[in-house]
Every structure is written in C-alpha cells, then in structure tokens.
C-alpha cells in the first residue's frame, strides 16, 4: 500500500461561532426601485455610492407634526440606484456568499422593505433578468459541474444530517425511484414528478459566473428545501400532500423547529430534494411558488403574505485514496447552507385598507418584523454595553430559525429595498432606522474550513488520468496490467512461501526472485523519488523566488493603492460637500423659481384686472360724456329754474329779516343811554363764500343781548372805511345799509353757532413755528388732536379740521387765520375736507384818544359813526378816565 499522511482530524460538519476571534458587522445594502413614472416626486435619492438622502414632503406625518421639511442621510455598505442591474447586485452581494458556500461556510441573505418595494423581484427576477436565487443556482452548478456525486450517494437522515451510501446502494435506490418502469410521472402517488403550471423558460439567460477555487478531491451533492412562515406557522412547500379522490389534496400541516446534534435549528421532517442541474432546481422552486401564500392588496397586485425561505445545502465528501468513491464515513462530510429569505413587506392598515384574513396576515407580518428588530436591538445593546440580556429569539419562528446565524454561524447580508415615491416617506423612515440598527450588530467570523484529512491531494486527477490511459490502451489493444502503476508500490503482497521440507529449493528460489524483484522495485522507486524530490526542490526554489518578487511588488502596489485610496477619500469628501451644496442651491433655486412663478401669476392677474378696470372706466367715462353732451341743455334749464326758486325763497326770508331788524333798531335807539357799555369790545367778522359779509360786536352789557346788523362786504379783510356808510347785499341780493347811529350797542352774528356735539374730533393742523397771540378769545375745540405734518391716517379718526395760518394783513398788522371744515369720507376709502368757515384773529392798538367822562357822549365824536371798531375804541376810551387800558381784540371770522 502507498504511504499515507498522518491524519489531522475530522472535517467539522458544524462550526460554532465561538471558534473565531474576529467580528464583522452585518452587511446591509440599499437598492432603490425605479419609478413607474419618472416625473413623480421622490423622497429618497442616492448622493454617493454609500449614502442616501431621505427628504420629507408636505404630505408626510413628520411635516404635519413639526411643520418643517427635514432631510436625513443614511450610510450603507453600498447603495444601488435605480439604474443598477441585477447582475451587478448579484456579483457584489451574493457571489461572495456562494464562494463561502463552496468553501464550507454558511450564509444568510434576506431582502427587507415595505410592500411594493421590489423585494421579490430582487430575489427571483424574471427569466430574462434573473434575481439572486436563480443566479446562485447557475453559479453553483457552473462551479461543481463534473465534481458532483451520483444521485442518492448522500441521503438525508431526517435530523439535519446526511448519510453516505455505497455505489451499489445508490444504484439500487436510483433504479427503484427513477428507472424502474411503472411509476408514471404526474400521478398523485408521485408528487415529486407532478407536473406544474410553471415551466422552465427556454429563453432564460444563464449566468456564466464560476468559482474555480474548489477542492477537486471532494465530491459534491446539492439539496434544496423550500418553506414559508405564514401567520407564525412553518409550512413545507415541497411536502407530499395526501391525495383523496373525492376532496383532492389535503391541506398541509405546520412543522416544528428542532435542534440538531450541533445545536443548530432546523425544520423537522422538511422535504429536501437532491438536484443535479439548475433546471431541476427551478422546477422545485416553481412548484413551491405555486403553493406560496400571495394575495391582492391596494399596494401590490401579488403581495407576499408570508416569509419564504429557500435553502441551498451543499454536501461535500472526500474521495478515497484512489480517488474513485466517497469515503464511507459520515463524520468526514462537510455540510454548508445558504438561506435566501424573501421577507413579506411591512404595511399599515390605513394605507392597504385590509380586512378579514388580509388584516390578520398584515398583523402577523408586522409582528414578526417587530420581533426581528427587537432581537437586533438587544444584540447591539449586549455588544455595546457588555450586558447579557436574553435575546427573544423564540418570540417568532423566523428569528428562532435563524438564531445560529446571528450568533456567529455564518455571514449575514441584507438588501434593503426602497420605493422612492414621495407617498412612501413615512414607511421608508422606519425601514432606514431598522437598517441603521442592523449595521451595528456584530457577527463572529467563522474559521476557514480545512478539507485536508491526511490523504494524498490530487487523487481525483490521478484517477482520471489513469482511467484515460487505460481507455487509450484498450483502444490500442494493450493489456492494462502492463501499464505502470499510478501509485508507488513494491509489488504484490508476499506469496505463500511455506517450505515443504529442508530440500524445498523451489520455494526458496521463488522467495529469492520475489525479494530480488522487490529490491529492484525499491531501487527504481528510490531513484524516481529522488528525481521527483529534486524537481520539487527546484520548483520550490523557483516558487520561493517568484513569491519574494511578488511580495515586493505587492507591497509596492499596496503603497500606491493606499495613496490612491487616500486621494479618493479626499475627493469623495469634496464631492459629497459639493453635492450637498449643489443640492442646497438647487432647492433654493426651485423655491425661487416657484416664488417667481407665483409672482408672475399674481402680476398677470393684477394686469388683467387693471385692464378690465381701465376698460370699464373708459366705457363709463364715454357713457357719462355722451349723457352730459346729450342732456346739457336740459340740465341748464333745470338749474336755472332751481336757482330762481331758491332766490325767490331767500328774498322773502330777507325781507322778513329786514322788517325785524328795523324793529330791533328802533328799540335799541330808545335804550341807548340807559345801557352801560363794557370796557371789553370784541369784533368778529363772518364771511360765507358767495354771500355778504356781516359783522357783529359783543359787549359785556347787563341787560342787552346780541343783536345782528348788516355790515358792508369786505373781501380783503381790511379795516372798514369811516368816511361814509357802506351798503351790502343780503342773501336775496337786496341792498342793506348799515346803521350809523353812534349810540348803537355792539351786536354779533347769531347765524353762526359752535357745535356742542361730544362725538366731534378736531384735527388741529398747526405748522411748526406758529406764534401764539395770547388773546382772550381762542377757538373752542373740546376734543382735538394737534399735528404739525398732516398724514393720511390722521384724517381717519377726525370729523373736523382746522388749519392755522399766520401773516401780515394789508394794514400791516399781524393776524392769525383759522380755516375750519368738515372731514368727509370718500368712496375710494380716503377722506376730503370741505371748508365752511374761516376765523381771523387780529390784534390792534386802542389809540391815544382820551375820554372826558365815564360814559360815551355823542359830542365826543367829531365825525359820523362809520365803523364798529371806532365806536368801540371811543367807548373804551371814555370809560378809561385817562388811565391806560388793555387793547381791545378784534376777531374776524371769514
């Protein structure tokens, strides 16, 4: 027999996570689904190869709660935008998991996201654009190819393990299940061959990827299982259902979870199908998908109502020393598993409007996802704080089944699928937070599995070469026994050399020949061994030299790569900053353009309204002009009639007043010498626009009141001439001659009267720099507001208006004029002032005339009484008794 290497131990069938010392975080990737309508608003976008930006909108709950539009950024292992192909995602995410599977390591890949985010499409895809699962099967069979064992050599033991059968037993089982006629495909008794509505598409595009780094001295077998977790119950989608001729297939029964000898969770009595090609795997996949729970919702026409788990288990067994058959030892097997999980989408009832069974399904889906998030949060807390809280794996069948993965029994990867529509913002926020938590969970890295069990490597290749040589020898009619052995051997075993007697020279001769042949063989093998040792030494020296050179080159390239990585990091940082600024500026530009459009619309509306108003005004003006031109003569005639009527009415009134005045004059003449005259004389002059000027004198007398008398009209507000009487016109135009009796008592105009209303508010407009006359008589303004500069808002609260004006009169005296009027609101929202009174305050000297007696006498005057002012001056001078008196005031109101 050939020499064997010392045995290094058994290949572990299960690997515990505690064997490794390095921890890696859960790798989370983000994929953004393409929009059905590219013009729809989005809530998420990729700003770099590893960062996405989440933007709220006005319809989101966050905006309704805070009233602000917020932006968040989340970092992933890699971000795949809507233009990334299925092939690129597979090469980046799933292909490393396939390498681990062939190298004996476990892996878990699951898709997570809301309903209609593209999870099922990412996992399965279409025949023309396959997803992760079909591509994994293609790569697996492309890699193991002709290294597969014959069917039924490895057989499941129903306890998550496998047994090894001999070639003879495997052949018997193949004949029993696949070759022996009588089992017709499609009958209920053989559901494994049952036809399905799903057929493998002949136009399927096969992934050409292949893993070359495999152990050629092992033989491989692939087993698949397909289960689903529905309403927190586990169902086998490949189970052979009992068939009843009346009722048909019976409903499936839920399975339970168990722990195997390696402390790993598995589904008890789960159907595992051995497959030899991707087509057989697709047939199994389609048969399971036909029984999977899907339903129509308002968000997705075929929404997954359960979590589906497709397990690919790869069994590797070492070949024997000749490289022909598998070692009949189950402990030498290595079993690795890749679980591809398509999680059901999280959804809210207020959006899906689910009822009945759909509502119950949604509740169980959300509950399972909630438990998954809780387990990850507790794991993260235990790792960060060093606590030892119990992780609630058993609260959900999904987390209970994958407990070993999160405790270090394989690599875990997750693809977060995102629907970028703006309406999905509230749901996407929760998905991003879950992804953020998941990336902080650390998983212990498993050790590299060693398949070297002490046998000579290259056994399979040597056996293939020998088989090929034998086949060629048979074709050339060469006896196979004459061919050199492919192994080092000293020949056949010792024959029977039992001596028959002392003279048995024949047996001794055979023994001598056998030993001589064995010695020659040994010498030949020794020479060949030395030759091979020399060749190996030369190759080893060459390899060492190449290794040293490549190591130096590798160090050089690593330095260059580090510098480039540093530069790339700096450039990426600058790019992110610039992209952030560009995004901010773009947002400001959008807001500015939006405001500009709004202002343009407002301007257009205002311009249109102005045009309409201008057109309406032009039309009305034209209409008014036409009416005025048409009815001009008619209005003139009516106005003439009204003017004549008013003049007639006021003429009658003036006549009556003239008669009354004559009577009062007679009474005053009789009582002239009986009434003392006051020393204070005040004169007021009233003028109404278009009417005569009248004067009145107020005198502090004890028994005589105010009696009006007509005075001449004075347009210049100057002193009245004293040479002769002046005649004026009354309201009816009649001539009125003032009385020139020197002994008459001062009178006042009884037609003017101050308003005593408490609701009047006066606006006293007095310019800055006005000089106060400090006279006794001042304008009486009960409620007033004094201003120096008139403003529009001041006229809104005032009902009366008074303007103060100071100047030098025509006689050279300084006088103050008070222009009074009423404030009347206008139809346009403003106010206008209608002046109806002017009050003039003037201060003059009382003169130097001395009085001889205390009472004025008619003989004290040289001329005629022509002026009220003169009479008042004389009367005051007569009462002064040669003493200095204060100057009388003259107040004129126009």
Whether residue 116 is annotated as binding a ligand: the answer is yes
Whether residue 469 is annotated as binding a ligand: the answer is no
Count of alpha carbons within 13 angstroms of residue 264, beta-carbon side: 18
Whether residue 626 is annotated as binding a ligand: the answer is no
Residues 6+ apart with CB under 8 A from 266: 160, 257, 258, 259, 260
**Residue 125 bridge partners (DSSP):** 130
- What separation in angstroms does the CA of 385 have from each of 316, 380, 448, 569? 40, 8, 29, 31
CA distance 171 to 167: 6
Helix boundaries (H) for 189-340: 278-290
CA distance 733 to 756: 32
CA distance 235 to 257: 11
Beta-carbon neighbour count of residue 632 at 10 Å?
10
DSSP of 798-821, one letter per residue?
A: -SEEEEEEEEE-TTS-EEEEEEEE
What letters, b where the CB count within 10 A reaches 16 and e where it falls short, cover 171-185?
beeeeeeeeeeeeee
Whether residue 120 is annotated as binding a ligand: the answer is yes
CA distance 700 to 684: 15
CA distance 802 to 816: 12
Whether residue 114 is annotated as binding a ligand: the answer is yes
According to DSSP, the β-strands at 693-699 and 681-687 are: antiparallel
**DSSP class of 246:** T
Whether residue 225 is annotated as binding a ligand: the answer is no
User: How many residues are recorded in the chain?
Assistant: 894
- Determine the angle formed by the axes of helices 425-438 and 357-385, rounding to 10 degrees: 40
Contact by Cβ (8 Å): 41, 57: yes
DSSP of 330-348, one letter per residue?
A: GGG-EEEEEEEEEPPPB--
CA distance 732 to 641: 16
Whether residue 158 is annotated as binding a ligand: the answer is no
What letters, b where the CB count within 10 A reaches 16 and e where it falls short, cover 534-557?
eeeeeeeeeeeeeeeeeeeeeeee
Tokens of residue 380, six digits:
């993260």
Count of alpha carbons within 13 angstroms of residue 802, beta-carbon side: 23
**Residue 684 bridge partners (DSSP):** 696
CA angle 252, 253, 255 (to 5 degrees): 125
Contact by Cβ (8 Å): 785, 749: no
3-state SS of 522-577 is: HHHHHHHHHHHHHHHHHHHHHHHHHHHHHHHHHHHHHHHHHHHHHHHHHHHHHHHH
CA angle 183, 185, 190 (to 5 degrees): 70
According to DSSP, the β-strands at 273-275 and 248-249 are: unpaired
C-alpha closest to that of 729 among 716, 711, 747? 711
Three-class SS state of 303? strand
CA distance 404 to 387: 19
Contact by Cβ (8 Å): 399, 375: yes
CA angle 739, 740, 744 (to 5 degrees): 80
| Residues of the binding site for ATP | 113-120
| Residues of the binding site | 113-120
């Amino acid at each position: 027999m050939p020499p064997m290497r010392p045995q290094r131990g058994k290949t572990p069938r299960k690997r515990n996570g505690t064997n490794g010392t390095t921890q890696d975080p859960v790798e989370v990737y983000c994929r953004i689904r393409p929009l059905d309508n590219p013009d729809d608003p989005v809530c998420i976008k990729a700003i770099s190869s590893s960062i996405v930006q989440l933007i709220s909108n006005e319809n989101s709950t966050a905006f309704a709660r805070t009233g602000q539009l917020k932006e968040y950024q989340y970092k992933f292992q890699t971000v795949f935008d809507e233009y990334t192909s299925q092939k690129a995602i597979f090469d980046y995410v799933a292909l490393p998991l396939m390498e681990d599977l062939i190298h004996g390591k476990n892996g878990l890949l699951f898709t997570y996201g809301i309903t209609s985010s593209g999870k099922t499409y990412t996992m399965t895809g279409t025949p023309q654009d396959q997803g992760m699962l079909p591509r994994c099967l293609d790569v697996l069979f492309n890699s193991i190819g002709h290294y597969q064992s014959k069917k039924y050599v490895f057989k499941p033991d129903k306890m998550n393990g496998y047994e090894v059968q001999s070639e003879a037993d495997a052949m018997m089982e193949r004949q029993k299940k696949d070759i022996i006629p009588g089992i017709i495909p499609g009958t209920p008794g053989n559901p494994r061959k049952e036809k399905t509505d799903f057929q493998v598409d002949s136009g399927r595009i096969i992934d050409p990827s292949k893993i070359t780094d495999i152990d050629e001295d092992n033989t491989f077998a692939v087993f698949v299982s397909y289960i689903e977790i529905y309403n927190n119950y586990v169902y086998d989608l490949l189970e052979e259902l009992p068939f009843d001729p009346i009722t048909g297939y019976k409903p499936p029964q839920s399975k339970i979870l168990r722990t195997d000898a390696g402390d790993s969770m598995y589904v008890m009595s789960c159907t595992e199908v051995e497959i030899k090609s991707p087509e057989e795997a697709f047939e199994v996949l389609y048969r399971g998908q036909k029984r999977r729970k899907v339903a129509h919702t308002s968000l997705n026409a075929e929404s997954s109502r359960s979590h589906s788990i497709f397990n690919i288990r790869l069994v590797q067994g070492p070949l024997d020393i000749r490289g022909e058959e598998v070692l009949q030892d189950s402990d030498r097997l290595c079993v690795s598993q890749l679980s591809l999980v398509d999680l059901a989408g999280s959804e809210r009832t207020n959006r899906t409007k689910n009822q009945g069974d759909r509502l119950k399904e949604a509740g169980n889906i959300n509950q399972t996802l909630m438990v998954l998030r809780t387990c990850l949060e507790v794991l993260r807390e235990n790792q960060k704080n060093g606590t030892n809280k119990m992780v609630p794996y058993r609260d959900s069948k999904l987390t209970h089944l994958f407990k070993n993965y999160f405790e270090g029994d394989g690599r875990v990867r997750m693809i977060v699928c995102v629907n970028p529509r703006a309406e999905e913002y509230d749901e996407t926020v929760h998905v991003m937070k879950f992804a953020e938590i998941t990336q902080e969970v650390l998983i212990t890295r498993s050790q590299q599995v060693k398949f070297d069990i002490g046998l000579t490597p290259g056994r399979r290749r040597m056996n293939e070469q020998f088989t090929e040589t034998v086949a060629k020898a048979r074709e050339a009619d060469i006896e196979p026994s004459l061919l050199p052995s492919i192994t080092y051997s000293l020949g056949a075993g010792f024959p029977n050399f039992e001596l028959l007697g002392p003279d048995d020279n024949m047996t001794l001769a055979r023994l001598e020949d056998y030993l001589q042949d064995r010695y020659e063989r040994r010498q030949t093998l020794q020479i060949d061994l030395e030759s091979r040792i020399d060749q190996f030494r030369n190759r080893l020296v060459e390899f060492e030299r190449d290794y040293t050179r490549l190591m130096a080159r590798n160090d050089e390239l690593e330095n260059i790569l580090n510098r480039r990585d540093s530069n790339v990091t700096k450039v990426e940082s600058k790019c992110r900053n610039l992209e952030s600024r560009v995004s901010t500026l773009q947002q400001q530009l959008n807001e500015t353009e939006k405001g500009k459009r709004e202002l343009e619309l407002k301007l257009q509306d205002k311009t249109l309204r102005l045009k309409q108003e201008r057109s309406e005004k032009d039309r009305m003006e034209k209409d008014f002009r036409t009416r005025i031109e048409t009815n001009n003569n008619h209005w003139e005639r009516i106005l003439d009639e009204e003017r004549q009527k008013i003049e007639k009415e006021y003429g009658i009134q003036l006549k009556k007043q003239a008669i009354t005045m004559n009577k009062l004059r007679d009474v005053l003449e009789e009582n002239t010498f009986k009434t003392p005259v006051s020393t204070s004389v005040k004169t007021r002059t009233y003028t109404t626009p278009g009417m005569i000027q009248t004067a009145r004198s107020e005198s502090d007398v004890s028994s005589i009141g105010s009696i009006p008398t007509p005075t001449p009209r004075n347009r210049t507000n100057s002193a009245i001439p004293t040479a002769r009487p002046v005649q004026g016109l009354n309201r009816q135009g009649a001539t009125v001659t003032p009385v020139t009796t020197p002994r008459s008592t001062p009178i006042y105009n009884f037609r003017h009267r101050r308003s005593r209303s408490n609701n009047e508010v006066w606006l006293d407009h007095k310019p800055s720099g006005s000089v106060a006359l400090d006279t006794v008589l001042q304008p009486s303004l009960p409620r007033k507001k004094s201003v120096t500069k008139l403003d529009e808002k001041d006229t809104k609260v005032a009902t009366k208006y008074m303007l103060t004006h100071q100047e030098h009169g025509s006689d050279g005296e300084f006088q103050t004029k008070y222009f009074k009027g009423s404030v009347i609101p206008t139809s346009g929202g403003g106010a206008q002032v209608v002046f109806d009174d002017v009050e003039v305050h003037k201060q003059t000297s009382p003169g130097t005339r001395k009085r001889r007696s205390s009472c004025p006498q008619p003989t004290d005057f040289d001329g005629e009484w022509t002026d009220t002012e003169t009479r008042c001056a004389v009367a005051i001078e007569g009462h002064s008794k040669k003493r200095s008196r204060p100057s009388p005031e003259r107040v004129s109101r126009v």
